[in-house]
Amino acid sequence: MAYLIHKSNLSERNLSFIPSELKLFKNLVTLNLSYNLLTDFCELPKCLKCICLNDNDLEFLPEHFFNLTNLEIIELRGNILSKLPKSIRKFKNLKKLDVSHNQIFYIHSSIGELSKIEKIIMPWNKIESLPNSINKLKNLNSINLNHNEIIKFPDNCECLFKLKELFLSNNLLTNVETVCKIKSLEMLFLNKNKISVIPDSISNLKNLKYLYLSENNISSLPDEIIKCNELIQLYLLENFFTNIETICKIKSLEMLFIDKNQILEIPDTICNLENLKYLYLSENKIKSLPTNIKNCKKLRGLNLRSNKISQISIKLFSLLSNLDLLDLRKNPILYPVDSTVIDICVLKKEMGDRLLIDNINYKKLRIFIFN
């Protein structure tokens, strides 16, 4: 009855070898051998379209593995592989390749012959560079290279016409000029690199929706970023920004995370961000809130923790009291001196748990108001 079986799950069996009889399963399409003790394996049915060999002890792939030319999905996550050899070119039908959490430092240029591949997952390896042939992958729509040692992305990557998701966080990039040529990008992850300058060519990314640039050495963004008019989420935590004037021109923004910078003030032009829903500015040096922020009528969350705010205009009471979250902890909030500033006690009563404020300040305010 072996010929009737289409799917076999042999995961978590403590297998150190694969029974040779498995190759007799002539209609087997999916085979899961994850979470075993395999260091090698025998020939497998050539009809396979999906194979999962995650979390084994594979240091290399046997040559007969590359004869499985019908494979569309290969998962080899969590092994000890050090390279992707020339034979990888044989997987002409491959659509998804997952080799994350290995020891890969070498990728043969023949990877460029995987003409049908759509998704490559390679984080947590030791990759320093990618072959230029990667630019031949016309159907590639997502590649994850987080947590590697990449210094530069290949040239001519503008040929990756379908690439929408590019993950390059936790690498050693200093220059992103080549990345900014990929016009189809919708998600770009560049957290924790060594980037200090974002080039004017960022304007090429007119389809970009999510941009992650946290934990770099960036102090400003070019004016050309306003041409990224689909951008809705921008992450700039732990950089060296002192102002957000340019950012306030990106009218499409819905979420801005720029905690742990050196920002001195929120400009009046914040009112341009009419679609803004979440604004995170904790651990900066902001002293006040501009009244123009009340024009950000869609704002739902405002994090101002660990700044230098002492008073807030009463004109902002309506906006702030309707937020889902307002964090004012670790600010030097003073007693209300007159009716032009917000009474934090009244705001706390209105918002309840939606307002986060230091207990010691709140208690002092209560004593001041009610005695």
- Which residue has tokens 């992305």? 153
Mean pLDDT of 1-18: 81
What ranges do the domains of the chain cover?
1-64+72-80
CATH fold of the domain at 1-64+72-80: 3.80.10
pTM of the complete model: 0.94
Helix (H, G, I), strand (E, B) or coil at 219: coil
How many other C-beta atoms are found inside a 10 Å radius of the C-beta of residue 332? 12
Report pLDDT digits (tens) over 237-270: 999 999 999 999 999 999 999 999 999 999 999 9
**Alpha carbons 302 and 16: distance in angstroms, whole number:** 54
Q: From residue 133, how far is each of 64, 114, 136, 157 by CA, in Å?
A: 24, 10, 6, 9
Contacts of 133 (CB under 8 A, 6+ apart): 109, 110, 111, 112, 113
End-to-end CA distance of the chain: 87
Contact indicator for 6, 30 with CB cutoff of 8 Å: yes
Closest by CA position to 264, among listed 323, 226, 219: 219
Helix (H, G, I), strand (E, B) or coil at 334: coil
Report pLDDT digits (tens) over 178-225: 999 999 999 999 999 999 999 999 999 999 999 999 999 999 999 999
Report pLDDT digits (tens) over 334-345: 878 788 999 888
Q: Helix, strand, coil shares of the chain as percentages rounded to 5? A: 25, 15, 60
What does the chain come to in residues?
371
Segment among 2-11, 75-84, 237-246 with least mean pLDDT: 2-11
Taking 80 as the threshold, does the pLDDT of residue 359 lie above it? Answer: no
Tokens of 307: 């700044």
